[in-house]
Amino acid sequence: MNVRTFARCASQAVLDAVYPPQCALCGTMGDPAYCSPCRDETEWLEPRVTTLIQPDPLTGFAAATRYAGRSAQAVTRLKYGRHTALAEPMAATIARLVAECRLDDVDWVVPVPIHWLRRCSRGFNQAELLASALPPARVRPELLRRVRWTRPQASLPADRRDGNLVGAFACTADLAGAHVLLVDDVLTSGATLRECATALRLRGARNVTAVVFSSGMR
Ligand SMILES: [Zn+2]
């Protein structure tokens, strides 16, 4: 063990003594942020891309888990409870899903952006955290910007969600012929991902596939 490795291990040991690891979901002390029993309770989905038919702006989507139980709890705790220790296991899940669905040859990975005001109050964009285990050279958050403040989708009835997001996103570069992979924490109505895909296609993206940690689609 070299000096640097020793220093890292020692500082991790100190951190673990001060802040012992704990499952962010069930609270079990000494366990990782997404512990094994919580994983067992999670409804994992078959790793596959569901293809959508044009004129849907999304080419298809893949989801790691069903939006229920521990999965829904993880999404909520990461985003609203700021349990950022969940980001690492959730990002690893996204990376595994991308590999299993053979989506690793996309041109660009774009996390769904949040408005800068929301980013300031939350301190992070959960979609960016979830893209953090994907190849850094392909992850380009700056390609898509949230240009309009919108009410949280979850606060609106289903029939008002589509209209809420019209013109909320803008693509910042020419993407002629590119295959873009959108990353987000959760897919419910799909309105957010479709609006992002529309903005990317307006700048020439040929295919836009989405990967999410959790899906509420039936
Ligand atoms: Zn747990």
Question: Which pLDDT score, from 0 to 100, does residue 87 have?
Answer: 97
CA count, 13 A, side-chain hemisphere, 205: 28
> 171 alpha carbon to ligand 1 midpoint, in Å?
38
Nearest in space to 89 (alpha carbons), one of 39, 140, 21? 39
Q: Residue 1 has what pLDDT? A: 57
CA of 124 to the centre of ligand 1 (A): 23
Cα of 24 from ligand 1 centre, angstroms: 7
69 within domain boundaries:
yes
Residue 183: closest CA among 70, 57, 98, 123: 98
Burial of 197 (0-12, 13-18, 19+ CB in 10 A): buried
- The helix (H) or strand (E) run that includes residue 192 is helix 191-202
- Output the CA 37–ligand 1 centroid distance in Å: 6
Report yes or no on 31 lying in a domain. Answer: no
User: Does a structural domain hold residue 36?
Assistant: no
Token output for 200:
């990317």
Backbone angles phi, psi at 56, to 5 degrees: -60, 125
CA of 14 to the centre of ligand 1 (A): 23
26 alpha carbon – ligand 1 mean position (Å): 4
Residue 103 CA to ligand 1 center (angstroms) comes to 29
Predicted pLDDT of residue 54 = 84
- Residue 27 is assigned to a structural domain of this protein: no
What residue type is assigned to position 41 of the chain? E
Does the residue 211 lie in any domain?
A: yes
Report whether 152 contacts 164 (CB < 8 A). no
Q: Where are the alpha helices (DSSP H) in 19-166?
A: 36-41, 69-79, 87-100, 116-122, 126-130, 158-164
* Cα 47 to ligand 1 centroid, rounded to whole Å: 23
The verdict on residue 120 lying in a domain is yes
How many whole angstroms separate alpha carbon 195 and alpha carbon 167? 8
203 within domain boundaries: yes
Quote the pTM value.
Answer: 0.89
Q: What separation in Å is there between the alpha carbon of 63 and the centre of ligand 1?
A: 21
Tell me, what's the pLDDT at 166?
85
Residue 192 lies in a domain: yes
> Which 3-state string (H, E, C) describes 117-155?
HHHHHHCCCHHHHHCCCCCCCCECHHHEEECCCCCCHHH
Give the count of domains, the chain.
Answer: 1
Per-residue pLDDT tens, the chain, 218 aa: give them.
565 665 665 665 555 555 679 999 999 999 999 999 999 999 999 999 999 998 999 999 999 999 999 999 999 999 999 999 999 999 999 999 999 999 999 999 999 999 999 999 999 999 999 999 999 999 999 999 999 888 888 788 877 877 888 889 999 999 999 999 999 999 998 999 999 999 999 999 999 999 999 999 86
Exposure string for 149-179, b = 16+ CB within 10 A, e = fewer? ebeebeebeeeebbebbeebbbbeeebeebb
CA distance 190 to 208: 13
Note down the domain range covering 81: 43-151+163-215
pLDDT for position 12: 58
Please count the other Cβ atoms lying within 10 Å of the Cβ belonging to residue 9.
11
Q: What is the CATH number of the domain that holds 106?
A: 3.40.50
Gap from CA of 163 to ligand 1 centroid (Å)? 38
R_g over Cα of the chain: 18
